Structure 1
Amino acid sequence: MKQFIPNSLTLLNVFSGCVATVFAVLNHLELAALFVFIGIFFDFLDGFAARMLKVQSELGVQLDSLADMITSGLVPGIVMFQLLNMAERGGWNLGFFGHETEMTALPFLGFVITLASAYRLAKFNIDENQVSSFQGLPTPANALLILSLPLILLYHNNEALNEIILNQWFLLGLTLLSAYLLNSPIKLFALKFKNWSFRANGVRYLFLIGSLVLLLTMKFLAIPLIVVLYILISLVTKNE
């Protein structure tokens, strides 16, 4: 019975990803981001619950990766597709199911993120070394990076930022960078708390505090900076 608890949380991640997918396809990117955030929250909870209840299982590992493929793999690809489409059309409003459905092949390059996420998750499932640390950027962190872009457009309303984000070359560059980071050899610490001790989790606590400060001061613009901070801290500490 206990092992059904983390699996139920993982299934809630799957459900959140499905809802986010629908909103992303409909170009309601704010709602898509909301449900991705909810899904990632369940993704954190399921692992935490499995460790606390000591009911880790191979089924849970496989189910977790399948959930991440939807929430943190498929949805970011659709969002990048939409952003590239907007960049080509020069505006936010896109009649995806209306009369303005003509498009080039360019927006489909956004799904490079989905392909890279699938490859990263498949490697993770057969890699026994990624227990206390990750090799390459985890798909949830990458999803947060991509989903932050429409939120910055909506809530920061800065003309200079808008021009950068809706520049197709910036988006293509970020897509390629995202694909590289997902499958890079860079070792990154995992946010897995086996206990609440500061000595055992000092790096994690410092990262979370720094992230909170950035979010409170910079709102959604903080998310890309938090991803950069995550990588830098990992490189400096070398996961020790």
Structure 2
Amino acid sequence: MTAIKRLIPNLFTAGNLVGGILAILFALTGHIVLAPYCIFISALLDFLDGFMARLLKVPSELGKQLDSLADMVTFGVAPGIIVFVMLGSQLPIFPELSTFGESISSYYIKDIIIDGEIIVEQNGISPTIINYGWHKFLPYFAFIIPVFALFRLAKFNIDTRQSDSFIGLPTPAMTLYIAVLPLLYSSTMNQIALGELSTASWEYSAATIISNPLFLMLSSLVLSILMVAEIPLFALKFKHFKIKGNEIRYLFLTIAIALLAILFFWALPLIIILYVLLSIINNQFVKARTNEI
């Protein structure tokens, strides 16, 4: 019976891993809009494996190692591949060209040839060759994400300070920020194509920004640095449910729920940014109270 109990949390961890693998496959095979859903399910399973281990009272060193290995795939490699595909789809020399999601543009990639050249067609008209030279190397910048995630996960395993809080941005938070971007872009462009949104809407402006290579690279760099930065971030672990001592958690949850109710998926990147900002503000208050004492 004990063996079965020990197996249950590990099954959730295995599900987390499978979700990460599927996200990578979908991103690389032209179905990147499905990748975020795999990430969301994996994030839920990642929470449940630890929850079940505590509930069944079967925490183990094996489970801890399995969790880190699965997280490396789902919250390290997968977001890197998503950014890699998005950067490869948004060629700076031809910005309206897109291969992820549904684009309102009539251009599409017909074939990739050699040395940074691609062949494109427009409404069946004769192909045009475009050379984007050094820009072909831009997508590889995305691999900064799994590299920093590797150090973040290893650091978490050996850092005893992170039992009740985090030091640096957790990899699931980073991945949720990244994973939702293609979903937001695709959804907005579909609504534009169907006439449900205009190009004057804030959603279209935001979608244009998040698909910009500079934004993607800057986001990748900032998120990577935050993962290994010595910045204390509060954890959503309640030792009790009284307001005193949990002010920052209740404030965060209240704003996060309000953002989700108003903006739906658009809220996710904002919630991650809010989490970091509230943590920094909370650190200043804690530091000030400590100095007073």
**TM score, norm. by length of structure 2:** 0.74
Paired residue total: 237
Q: 1:14-29 alignment to 2 at 5 Å?
A: 14-29=17-32
Counterpart of 1:221?
A: 266
Q: CA 1:52–1:204 in 2, change beyond 3 Å: closer, same or farther?
A: farther
CA RMSD of aligned residues (A): 2.2
2:141 maps to 1:109: yes
Q: Contact 2:13–2:45 at 8 Å: present in 1 too?
A: yes
Counterpart of 2:169?
A: 137
Counterpart of 2:204?
A: 159
Aligned-residue sequence identity (percent) comes to: 43
- Paired residue type of 2:39: V
**TM score, norm. by length of structure 1:** 0.90
- Within the candidate set 59, 70, 75, 2:73 is matched to 70
Counterpart-to-counterpart distance in 2, 1:67 and 1:110 = 20
Q: Secondary structure at the match of 1:99?
A: strand
Counterpart of 2:90?
A: 87
Deviation at 1:116, TM superposition (A): 0.8
Q: Contact 2:24–2:82 at 8 Å: present in 1 too?
A: no
Q: Deviations over 1:175-224 (max 9, x none)?
A: 111110111111112234567x3457554444333222211201222111
Question: Bigger relative contact order, structure 1 or 2, given CA contacts below 8 A and separation 6+?
Answer: 1
Counterpart-to-counterpart distance in 2, 1:67 and 1:87 = 30
- Within the candidate set 214, 219, 226, 1:174 is matched to 219
Q: Contact 1:80–1:146 at 8 Å: present in 2 too?
A: yes
Deviation at 1:7, TM superposition (A): 1.2
Q: CA 1:57–1:36 in 2, change beyond 3 Å: closer, same or farther?
A: same
- Within the candidate set 37, 47, 50, 2:50 is matched to 47
Counterpart of 1:10?
A: 13
If each structure's helix is expressed as a fraction of its own residues, which one has the higher value? 1
Unpaired segments ≥5 residues, structure 1: none
- Higher mean alpha-carbon deviation, 38-47 vs 182-191, is at 182-191
Counterpart-to-counterpart distance in 1, 2:225 and 2:20 = 23
Q: Secondary structure at the match of 2:163?
A: coil
Counterpart-to-counterpart distance in 1, 2:265 and 2:188 = 8
- Within the candidate set 60, 63, 81, 1:60 is matched to 63
Q: Deviations over 1:92-116 (max 9, x none)?
A: 226xx97236541110111111111
Counterpart-to-counterpart distance in 2, 1:101 and 1:229 = 43
